Structure 1
Amino acid sequence: MIKIDNLTKIFDTPNGPVTAADHIQMEVPEGEICVLLGPSGCGKTTTLKMINRIIPPTSGKVFINGQDTTGLNTVDLRRNIGYVIQQIGLFPNMTIEENIAIVPKLLGWDAARYQARAKELLEMVALDPSVFLKRFPKELSGGQQQRVGVARALAADPPVMLMDEPFGAIDPINREVIQDEFLKMQQELKKTIMFVSHDIDEAVKMANRIAIFRDGKLVQYDTPDDLLAHPKNKFVEDFVGDDRALKRLRLVTVEQVMEKPVSVTPNETLEQALKRMEDHGYTHAITMVNDQQQPIGYVSKGVAQTTKGYCGEHYFGLKGLATVGDDLRKIASLMFTHDTTWMPCVDAQGRLVGQINQRGITHYLGATYHRDGDQALSQNLKLA
């Protein structure tokens, strides 16, 4: 959807020409979010602003949906690209409804249509239209204003959105909430988005692809998982941080790592439980389920080895449950909190569908690492 072909920007300065963006070459597929990262002055914001010609490029081309934008009228180009900035830029003398309706009005929408659109978008960003439509920006919190800024960018249903640190000025709690709301919207809307950030954690959470810039050059362009697992050079490795194993945990769900379920019922004997554990290589315990296949406890191997009787008479309460949609960072946190090395995995109905353990998490991470230091990091995380 967005293709950048050798895009270059050279600024003339009193000290001579400065190359802010140097032959940038990249593509963002339709419906994906690409986050641009890098230190201050690296060229990420310049690249973003050349797409809608807020900064005119020195050379190179931008294609949107296969169309070369070079010959397009600048006003028409910008009307068809949603744009969100950190400072939000709401007009203080206009109501929220009027702010959202600016571009639709310019495009000639009738009043009924743009009013309905403003109401629809406020609901989409979790703001009650009956409360907020007629308010002015000064009557909203910073987080609420940021949501309105996103709604305004979506007003004319643009295929492409550009976002310049849109969540950077918001406190951490509200930032998480707004990011989550935005990702929910993106699942439905499937916009093609290019997004400048300074926060690697935000990029890992939000992006389908991440572009790392340095000194005006695109150093690495990759999926978040590949970027964290295979940094191209020392600069990228340092930029993503020493805790990149932890960052990768956020990208993987329980469903991708869990093993097939093995369980016992309360009416089965401890002897049967022990045999089942030995047959499947379980070293610590086995999950006990009820008639609906829902986990209700576990039988430890030590008890099964030394005691006679039924599982329902000698079981322990569960120390936590993993659901198939949970990411591994959450599961690692639960394991540390409950001092356990494994957890049963359940579906939305609470039925046992698998088991996850620290060894499986370690093996997943280690399968794509290519440096000894990364394996050592996993060891330090106690995930071995």
Structure 2
Amino acid sequence: MIRLDSLTKVFDTPKGAVVAADHISMEVPAGEICILLGPSGCGKTTTLKMINRIVRPTSGKVFINGDDTTGMDTQTLRRNIGYVIQQIGLFPNMTIEENITVVPRLLGWDKARYRERARELMAMIALEPDAFLKRYPSELSGGQQQRIGVARALAADPPVMLMDEPFGAIDPINRAVIQDEFLKMQQALNKTIMFVSHDIDEAIKMGDRIAIFREGRLVQYDTPDDLLTAPKDAFVESFLGEDRALKRLNLVKVREIVSDEIGSVTPSDTLETALARIDDFGYSNAILMVNDKRQPAGIVSRSVARTTKGYCRDHFQSVPAAVHLDDDLRKVASLMFAHDITWLPCVDDDGRVCGQITQRAITSHLGSRYRARQAADATAAKE
């Protein structure tokens, strides 16, 4: 959907020519989010702004959906590209409805259509239309204004969106909420998005692909997992941080490594049965007790089962935590550390136990990419 062909920008300054973007070539497939990442002054924002011609390229081309935009009228180009900036840029003298519908009104939409579009978008960004549409930007919080900025960019249903640190000025709690809402919206909208960020964790969470810039050059362009697994050089490795292996926890869902081999007992089972099943499975010092709906109901420990007589229903502890199939491994690891346990039950949408996840499985999964990379490097070296 977006293709940059040797895109270059040279600024003339009193001290001479400064190359802000140096022959940037990359492609962003339709429906994907591409994050431009790098230190301040590396050229990521300049590259973004050349796409909608806020900054005019010195050389090179921008293609949108296969069309060379070089000869395209600037206003037409911009009306087909949604644009969201960190400072939001809402018009203070316009109501929220008027802000959202700026581009549809310029495009000649009739009143009923653009008003309906505004209400639809307000619902999408989780703000009540009747409560907010007639307000002015000054009456909203910073996080609410940022959501309106996103809605305005989406108003004319553009195929492409450009976002320049759109969540950077929002406090961490609201930022996480808005990021999650935006990703849910993206699943339905399927826009092609280029997104400037300075936050590595945001890039990993939001991006299908990440482009690392340095001093105006594109250093590496990869999926988050490939980037974290195989940084191209020392700069990328340093920029990603020494904990880049842990950052990969954000990328893997429980469903990818869940095991359906999980032992369990019912409240009516004896502690002798519980001890036998703990020994059968051999992965823990406890076993999960489930109710008649196969939902987690408690934990029976080995020490209790070995030294006590009776039934599980009378000798269990509460379940410390359970994880959903769509949770990421970062949440799983956090719960394991918090509760000092090495396994957790996994549940489906109805809360029924569908498997388990272990520390060993997490370690094995994360390490498999590195082992595969080492094997590939060794093979290449022999050849």
TM-score under structure 1 length normalisation: 0.92
For residue 114 of structure 1, what is the amino acid of its counterpart? Y
Question: More deviation in 73-82 or 62-71?
Answer: 62-71
1:375 counterpart residue number: none
Determine helix, strand or coil for the equivalent of 1:315. coil
Determine helix, strand or coil for the equivalent of 2:251. coil
Determine helix, strand or coil for the equivalent of 1:71. coil
Query: 1:249 Cα shift?
Result: 1.3
1:161 counterpart residue number: 161
Q: Is the 8 A contact 1:230 1:370 kept in 2?
A: no
2:286 counterpart residue number: 285
Query: 1:140 Cα shift?
Result: 1.4
Q: Percent identity?
A: 72
Quote the Cα distance in structure 1 between the aligned partners of 2:248 and 2:181.
Answer: 22
Quote the Cα distance in structure 2 between the aligned partners of 1:121 and 1:170.
Answer: 20
- Within a 5 Å distance, the mapping from 1:121-160 to structure 2 comes to 121-160=121-160
Whether 2:2 is the aligned partner of 1:2: answer yes
1:343 counterpart residue number: 344
Cα displacement string for residues 149-184 of structure 1 (whole angstroms, at most 9, x for unaligned residues) = 111101100000000111111122221222122112
1:21 counterpart residue number: 21
Whether 2:105 is the aligned partner of 1:105: answer yes
Q: Is the 8 A contact 1:346 1:352 kept in 2?
A: yes
1:39 counterpart residue number: 39
Quote the Cα distance in structure 2 between the aligned partners of 1:265 and 1:122.
Answer: 47
Query: 1:2 Cα shift?
Result: 1.0
Query: 1:250 Cα shift?
Result: 1.6
Q: Is the 8 A contact 1:262 1:354 kept in 2?
A: no
2:186 counterpart residue number: 186
- Within a 5 Å distance, the mapping from 1:63-142 to structure 2 comes to 63-142=63-142
Question: More deviation in 277-286 or 48-57?
Answer: 277-286
For residue 246 of structure 1, what is the amino acid of its counterpart? L
Instruction: Give structure 1 stretches of 5+ with no counterpart.
Output: 373-384
Whether 2:321 is the aligned partner of 1:320: answer yes
Determine helix, strand or coil for the equivalent of 1:325. coil
Cα displacement string for residues 199-228 of structure 1 (whole angstroms, at most 9, x for unaligned residues) = 111111111111110011111111112212
Quote the Cα distance in structure 2 between the aligned partners of 1:279 and 1:69.
Answer: 66
Cα displacement string for residues 115-141 of structure 1 (whole angstroms, at most 9, x for unaligned residues) = 111111112111111121111111211
Query: 1:304 Cα shift?
Result: 4.1
Cα displacement string for residues 184-207 of structure 1 (whole angstroms, at most 9, x for unaligned residues) = 211111111000011111111111
Quote the Cα distance in structure 2 between the aligned partners of 1:313 and 1:238.
Answer: 54
Quote the Cα distance in structure 2 between the aligned partners of 1:294 and 1:141.
Answer: 41
Query: 1:309 Cα shift?
Result: 4.9
Whether 2:362 is the aligned partner of 1:358: answer no
1:238 counterpart residue number: 238
For residue 324 of structure 2, what is the amino acid of its counterpart? T
Query: How big is the alpha-carbon RMSD for the aligned residues of Structure 1 and Structure 2?
Result: 1.9
For residue 207 of structure 2, what is the amino acid of its counterpart? A
Question: More deviation in 95-104 or 278-287?
Answer: 278-287
For residue 333 of structure 1, what is the amino acid of its counterpart? S
Quote the Cα distance in structure 2 between the aligned partners of 1:108 and 1:285.
Answer: 67
Q: Is the 8 A contact 1:84 1:166 kept in 2?
A: yes
Query: 1:313 Cα shift?
Result: 4.4
Query: 1:243 Cα shift?
Result: 2.2
Quote the Cα distance in structure 2 between the aligned partners of 1:147 and 1:352.
Answer: 37
1:376 counterpart residue number: none
Change (3 A) 1:132 1:313: closer
Cα displacement string for residues 328-364 of structure 1 (whole angstroms, at most 9, x for unaligned residues) = 1112111122121111111111111011111111111
Determine helix, strand or coil for the equivalent of 1:181. helix
Quote the Cα distance in structure 2 between the aligned partners of 1:307 and 1:143.
Answer: 56
Question: More deviation in 308-317 or 213-222?
Answer: 308-317
For residue 130 of structure 1, what is the amino acid of its counterpart? D
Q: Is the 8 A contact 1:80 1:158 kept in 2?
A: yes
Question: More deviation in 339-348 or 36-45?
Answer: 339-348
TM-score under structure 2 length normalisation: 0.92
Quote the Cα distance in structure 2 between the aligned partners of 1:72 and 1:147.
Answer: 30
Quote the Cα distance in structure 2 between the aligned partners of 1:138 and 1:144.
Answer: 10
Aligned length: 372
Quote the Cα distance in structure 2 between the aligned partners of 1:212 and 1:226.
Answer: 13
Instruction: Give structure 2 stretches of 5+ with no counterpart.
Output: 374-383
Determine helix, strand or coil for the equivalent of 1:359. helix
Cα displacement string for residues 297-349 of structure 1 (whole angstroms, at most 9, x for unaligned residues) = 22333444555554444433221111112111112111122121111111111
Question: More deviation in 169-178 or 95-104?
Answer: 169-178
2:377 counterpart residue number: none
Q: Is the 8 A contact 1:22 1:217 kept in 2?
A: yes
Quote the Cα distance in structure 2 between the aligned partners of 1:138 and 1:288.
Answer: 54
2:174 counterpart residue number: 174
Quote the Cα distance in structure 2 between the aligned partners of 1:77 and 1:349.
Answer: 47
Determine helix, strand or coil for the equivalent of 1:147. helix
Query: 1:40 Cα shift?
Result: 0.9
Query: 1:271 Cα shift?
Result: 4.4
